[in-house]
Protein backbone atom coordinates (compact mmCIF):
# COMPACT_ATOMS: atom_id res chain seq x y z
CA UNK A 1 0.00 0.00 0.00
CA UNK A 2 0.94 3.63 -0.38
CA UNK A 3 3.04 4.99 2.50
CA UNK A 4 2.34 8.49 3.75
CA UNK A 5 4.48 10.56 6.09
CA UNK A 6 2.35 12.96 8.10
CA UNK A 7 3.78 15.81 10.17
CA UNK A 8 1.39 17.73 12.39
CA UNK A 9 -1.30 15.73 14.17
CA UNK A 10 -3.25 18.61 15.65
CA UNK A 11 -6.99 19.20 15.50
CA UNK A 12 -7.15 18.78 11.71
CA UNK A 13 -4.08 16.66 11.05
CA UNK A 14 -4.94 13.78 13.38
CA UNK A 15 -8.38 13.33 11.85
CA UNK A 16 -6.90 13.40 8.36
CA UNK A 17 -4.16 10.89 9.24
CA UNK A 18 -6.64 8.50 10.88
CA UNK A 19 -8.90 8.66 7.80
CA UNK A 20 -5.92 7.72 5.63
CA UNK A 21 -5.21 4.71 7.88
CA UNK A 22 -8.88 3.72 7.69
CA UNK A 23 -8.61 3.88 3.89
CA UNK A 24 -5.88 1.23 4.04
CA UNK A 25 -2.81 3.43 3.66
CA UNK A 26 0.32 3.14 5.77
CA UNK A 27 0.76 6.35 7.77
CA UNK A 28 3.83 7.34 9.78
CA UNK A 29 2.99 10.42 11.82
CA UNK A 30 4.93 12.95 13.83
CA UNK A 31 3.74 15.43 16.42
CA UNK A 32 5.15 17.10 19.50
CA UNK A 33 2.29 15.81 21.63
CA UNK A 34 2.49 12.18 22.70
CA UNK A 35 -1.32 11.97 23.01
CA UNK A 36 -1.63 12.63 19.27
CA UNK A 37 0.92 9.91 18.49
CA UNK A 38 -0.91 7.52 20.82
CA UNK A 39 -4.20 8.23 19.01
CA UNK A 40 -2.58 7.59 15.63
CA UNK A 41 -1.06 4.29 16.72
CA UNK A 42 -4.37 3.23 18.32
CA UNK A 43 -5.95 3.74 14.88
CA UNK A 44 -3.29 1.59 13.21
CA UNK A 45 -0.73 4.19 12.17
CA UNK A 46 2.92 4.37 13.19
CA UNK A 47 4.50 7.00 15.42
CA UNK A 48 7.61 8.46 13.80
CA UNK A 49 10.49 9.59 15.97
CA UNK A 50 11.52 12.46 13.73
CA UNK A 51 10.58 14.29 10.55
CA UNK A 52 13.19 12.23 8.73
CA UNK A 53 11.60 9.01 10.00
CA UNK A 54 8.14 10.18 8.92
CA UNK A 55 9.40 11.00 5.42
CA UNK A 56 11.62 7.91 4.98
CA UNK A 57 10.35 5.71 2.12
CA UNK A 58 7.11 7.75 1.94
CA UNK A 59 5.29 8.09 -1.35
CA UNK A 60 3.79 11.33 -0.09
CA UNK A 61 4.61 13.73 2.76
CA UNK A 62 1.80 15.80 4.29
CA UNK A 63 2.59 18.82 6.45
CA UNK A 64 -0.22 20.11 8.65
CA UNK A 65 1.78 22.73 10.49
CA UNK A 66 0.87 26.28 11.50
CA UNK A 67 2.93 28.36 9.08
CA UNK A 68 5.67 28.50 6.47
CA UNK A 69 8.39 28.83 9.11
CA UNK A 70 7.35 25.51 10.64
CA UNK A 71 7.21 23.91 7.19
CA UNK A 72 10.76 25.09 6.45
CA UNK A 73 11.88 23.75 9.83
CA UNK A 74 10.44 20.30 9.10
CA UNK A 75 11.65 20.12 5.52
CA UNK A 76 15.12 21.58 5.86
CA UNK A 77 16.33 21.88 9.47
CA UNK A 78 14.82 18.57 10.58
CA UNK A 79 15.83 16.83 7.35
CA UNK A 80 12.53 15.56 5.95
CA UNK A 81 13.78 16.28 2.42
CA UNK A 82 16.96 14.31 2.97
Which stretches within 2-50 are classed as H helix? Answer: 13-22, 34-43
Q: Has this prediction a pTM greater than 0.75?
A: yes
Report yes or no: 15 and 40 within 8 Å, Cβ to Cβ: no
Q: What share of the chain is helix, strand, coil (3-state, %, to 5)?
A: 45, 20, 40
Query: How far apart are alpha carbons 45 and 77 in whole angstroms?
Result: 25
The pLDDT of 33-53, averaged and rounded, is 97
Q: What is the tens place of the pLDDT at every residue in 66-76?
A: 999 999 999 99
- Give Cβ neighbours of residue 28 (< 8 Å, ≥ 6 apart): 3, 4, 5, 6, 45, 46, 47, 48, 53, 54, 56, 58
Answer yes or no: is pLDDT of 82 > 90.
Answer: no
Amino acid sequence: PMRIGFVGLGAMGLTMAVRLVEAGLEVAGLDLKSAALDALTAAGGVAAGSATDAARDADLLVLMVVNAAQAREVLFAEGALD
